[in-house]
């Protein structure tokens, strides 16, 4: 089975709120914080690796970004992914979800017939979760979002458990298909020492638009449908009243009185 | 999750997903929809428009809009469209649906929610939160670290990658207040935070705060509330 995992480099979502800066409608990354692999994409890699362990597979990680985005592909390789490709070209700069999905779809078509395309449920930066379904649309493939478990059944059928409110549903689909992976799949494995050494030695090709032949009218900043109106740090409107009291018992008494006053109990 | 993007691609327009607010901006040549989304787990407020293409599309995050009451005599035109779907169009097939009714009060129906975080570890765990929720008749929720610890199931997670809630009274216990958590309950009517660190960012997003040892304060509070109600 050939599996392609789409990964994205993002600003570490765990950085404290006061490190966020916005200038001219752009996020200014804090200098001391290195970008990371989108945590949901790491879970998509985990899902791919579990399938590989059980059934054997060749896994390719691809990313669209600056040449620096190589770091996230190398991270994927160190976790056990077999090959990686960086898609980087000035023509790609400013692409929205739709254009990014098109770029990825063009690349996926160039990779040996992919049976399964995996994405994280969303990226930790914009958090919109559009790229996976849009790749499916581009390639005219079925898509299943929010998978918490993926299995390959006899007869080459993928069985996917999809998270829904108050439970999950079991779907079956014949490959090729696109699946986005939900948090419920569990924590992704950490790279092993050997994995890191192997990954460090691997060549990661950079493909430009010459390699994937995307229609330039459909990519980059000129192709965007949705535009950013503003980016700002949200105002905090609440004023916190700290309940006074010397002992836990006194604090509890004073709080209970306050809650009564507010009609909350 | 997958329907709206595919429709947007079919009609060749932009889509803004997981919005927390929508309004019409009438300032320009033609009125346009402004979609507000929390970026970077709620650290940033992002406003997005779709200036050229029509229709404009957005999906709304569950739990953030108030559900209006039903107006009985409203009339509307219902348009029926004949579709031409055949068996071959169904490529992914649902085999079965498994209901996992969460035990306890569902988060989206609760007037009171008590949510716990990492800070509970040093004081003996999550039982404190459960006790407090029980005496208040509220639902239990938690942060990502609390879910990762296995203290509560994933569907009880509050925050940008979990549920968005807006109860009348929200209590956060032992959570420092990472944005991707706080963004999940900012629209609650009254927010109470209990944490041992007076400098924790959680105190910037609450109405009432208690600084102190959770392991001592919560049992006292449970006792007081039992006596008061």
CA distance B49 to chain A (A): 5
Q: Which of B6, B47, B161 sits opposite A229 (nearest CB)?
A: B47
Q: Tell me whether B111 touches chain A (CB under 8 Å).
A: no
Convert the pLDDT of each residue in B96-122 to its tens digit.
999 987 778 889 889 999 999 999 988
What does the pLDDT profile of chain A (265 residues) look like in tens digits? 999 999 999 988 777 667 778 887 788 877 778 889 999 999 999 999 999 999 999 999 999 999 889 999 999 999 999 999 999 999 999 999 999 999 999 999 999 889 999 999 999 888 889 999 999 999 999 999 999 999 999 999 999 999 988 789 999 999 999 999 998 898 899 999 999 999 999 999 999 999 999 999 999 998 988 888 998 887 767 889 999 999 999 999 999 999 999 988 8
- Which H helix or E strand runs over B144? helix B144-148
Say whether B99 and A166 touch across the interface (CB within 8 A). yes
Partner A contacted by B229 (CB < 8 A) = yes
Chain B, window 194-223: residues with a beta carbon less than 8 angstroms from a chain A beta carbon: 198, 201, 203-213, 216-217, 219-221, 223
Peptide bond into B109 cis (omega under 30): no
Whether residues B99 and A265 touch (CB distance < 8 A) is answered with no
Calculate the alpha carbon distances from B44 to A20, B47, B48 in Å.
8, 10, 13
Work out the minimum CA distance from B106 to partner chain A, whole angstroms: 9
In SS3 terms, A126-188 reads as CCCCCHHHHHHHHHCCCEEEEEEEEEEECCCEEEEEEEECCEEEEEEECCCEEEEECHHHCCC
- Pick from A129, A141, A142, A71: nearest CA to A100: A129
Whether the CB-CB separation of A17 and B179 falls below 8 Å is answered with: yes
Check CB contact under 8 Å for A146 and B1: yes
Instruction: Give A-chain residues touching B63 at CB under 8 angstroms.
Output: none
Q: Which residues pair with B34 in a beta bridge?
A: B23
Q: Beginning with the edge strand found earlier in the chain, give each strand of the sheet holding B169-173 in spatial order.
A: A241-242, B208-211, B190-195, B169-173, B112-116, B139-142
Q: Tell me the HSE value of A215 on the side-chain side, using a 13 A CA sphere.
A: 8
Strands (E), chain B: 15-19, 21-25, 32-39, 44-49, 57-60, 92-99, 112-116, 139-142, 169-173, 190-195, 208-211
- CA A43 and chain centroid, separation: 8
Contact yes or no for B2 and A143 at CB 8 A: yes
Helix (H) or strand (E) holding A227: strand A227-232
Q: Are A226 and B10 within 8 A, CB to CB?
A: no
Query: Across the interface, do B49 and A229 touch by the CB < 8 Å criterion?
Result: yes
Nearest CB to A125 within list B40, B136, B168: B40
Taking CB atoms and an 8 Å limit, are B52 and A240 in contact across chains? no
Enter the pTM of the model: 0.85
Measured between CB atoms, which of A127, A159, A253 is closest to B18? A127
């Amino acid at each position: 089975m050939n599996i392609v995992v789409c990964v994205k480099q993002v600003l570490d979502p765990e950085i404290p709120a006061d490190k966020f800066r916005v200038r001219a409608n752009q996020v200014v990354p804090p200098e001391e914080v290195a970008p990371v692999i989108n945590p949901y994409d790491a879970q998509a890699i985990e899902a791919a690796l579990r399938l590989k362990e059980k059934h054997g597979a060749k896994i390719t990680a691809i990313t669209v970004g600056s040449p620096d985005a190589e770091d996230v592909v190398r991270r994927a390789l160190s976790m056990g992914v077999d090959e990686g490709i960086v898609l980087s070209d000035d023509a790609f700069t400013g692409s929205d979800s739709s254009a990014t999905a098109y770029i990825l779809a063009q690349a996926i078509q160039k990779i040996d017939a992919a049976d399964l395309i995996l994405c994280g449920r969303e990226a930790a930066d914009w958090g919109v979760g559009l790229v996976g379904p849009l790749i499916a649309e581009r390639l005219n493939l079925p898509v299943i979002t929010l998978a918490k478990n993926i299995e390959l059944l006899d007869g080459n059928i993928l069985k996917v458990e999809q998270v829904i409110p108050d439970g999950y549903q079991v779907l079956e689909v014949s490959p090729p298909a696109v699946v986005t992976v939900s948090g419920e799949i569990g924590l992704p494995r950490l790279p092993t020492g050997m994995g890191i050494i192997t990954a460090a030695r691997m060549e990661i090709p950079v493909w430009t638009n010459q390699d994937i032949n995307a229609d330039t009218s459909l990519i980059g900043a000129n192709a965007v449908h949705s535009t950013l109106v503003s980016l700002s740090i949200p105002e905090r409107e609440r004023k916190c009243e700290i309940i006074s009291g010397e002992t836990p018992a006194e604090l509890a008494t004073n709080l209970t009185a306050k809650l009564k006053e507010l009609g909350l109990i | 999750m997958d329907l709206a993007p595919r429709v947007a691609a079919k009609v060749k327009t932009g889509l803004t997903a997981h919005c927390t607010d929508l309004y019409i901006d009438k300032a320009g040549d033609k009125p346009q929809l402004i979609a507000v989304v929390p970026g970077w787990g709620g650290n940033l407020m992002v406003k997005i428009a779709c200036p050229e293409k029509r229709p404009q599309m957005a999906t709304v995050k569950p739990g953030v809009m108030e559900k209006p009451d039903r107006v009985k005599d409203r009339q509307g035109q219902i348009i029926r469209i004949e579709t031409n779907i055949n068996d071959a169009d169904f490529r992914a097939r649902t085999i079965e649906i498994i209901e996992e009714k969460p035990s306890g009060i569902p988060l989206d129906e609760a007037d009171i929610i008590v949510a716990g975080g990492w800070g509970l570890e040093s004081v003996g765990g999550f039982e404190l939160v459960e006790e407090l929720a029980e005496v208040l008749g509220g639902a239990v929720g938690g942060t990502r670290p609390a879910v990762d610890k296995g203290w509560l199931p994933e569907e009880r997670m509050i925050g940008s990658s979990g549920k968005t809630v807006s109860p009348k009274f929200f209590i956060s216990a032992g959570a420092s207040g990472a944005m991707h958590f706080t963004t999940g309950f900012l629209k609650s009517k009254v927010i109470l935070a209990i944490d041992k660190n007076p400098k924790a960012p959680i105190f910037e997003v609450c109405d009432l705060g208690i600084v102190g040892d959770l392991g001592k304060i919560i049992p006292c509070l449970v006792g007081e509330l039992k006596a008061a109600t």
